[in-house]
Amino acid sequence: MNAEDWITHLDMAAHPEGGYFKQSFVSPEKISLDTHPAERNLYTSIYFLLRSQDVSHFHRLKSDELWYFHAGQTTTVHILDVQGNYRAEKLGLDIAAGERPQVLVEKGSIFGSTVEADEAFSLVGCMVSPGFDFADFELLLQAELLEQFPDQEPIIRKLAYKKLPDTLSGR
């Protein structure tokens, strides 16, 4: 199947950070934590599809997010941790080449993703715990990231919005 087949069959929609998603699971159990403004589901999970012509822009969550590889080509998850250290995690099944079938993005990290292969896609799953809520989702702009992390300029210019798209400005 190609990217469009997956998008259609899984009934995916455009994601504000880039790529396509479909929520697949929501825990019926709830949890309250001091780090979140309101009660959250214990966990949530989505399918996430990224094509090589797409970029998952830098964003931050108040929860841990665990990524699982499903199909397609390798996804690179670009992570700036809370200290501003950059690392690129390869999400895929070629273990001998350093890929891993699961990647953890720790809460508070800034992250985005890419598919480096030409004319390719990657289908992954992302589980967030405590569960995802858009109130805990923050898209980050180039100017603020360059001010905080000037040593990370190349990846920031590649993955951060210069300005929020009009569709996100009212969020």
- The predicted pLDDT at position 34 comes to 87
pLDDT above 70 coverage of the chain, percent: 96
β-strand partners of 126: 46, 67
Where the chain has pLDDT below 50, the residues are: 170-171
Q: Would you say 21 and 49 are in contact if contact means Cβ atoms under 8 Å apart?
A: yes
Nearest to 139 by CA among 50, 15, 16, 14: 16
Place of tokens 């699982």: 68
How many residues does this entry show for the chain? Answer: 171
The 3-class secondary structure across the chain, one letter per residue, is: CCHHHHHHHCCCEECCCCCEEEEEEECCCEECCCCCCCCEECCEEEEEEEECCCCEEEEEECCEEEEEEEEECCEEEEEECCCCCEEEEEECCCHHHCCECEEEECCCCEEEEECCCCCCEEEEEEEEECCCCHHHEEECEHHHHHHHCHHHHHHHHHHCECCCCHHHHCC
pLDDT at 16: 87
Q: Looking at residue 171, what is its pLDDT? A: 43
Give the C-alpha separation, 48 to 63, whole Å: 17
User: pTM higher than 0.85, yes or no?
Assistant: yes
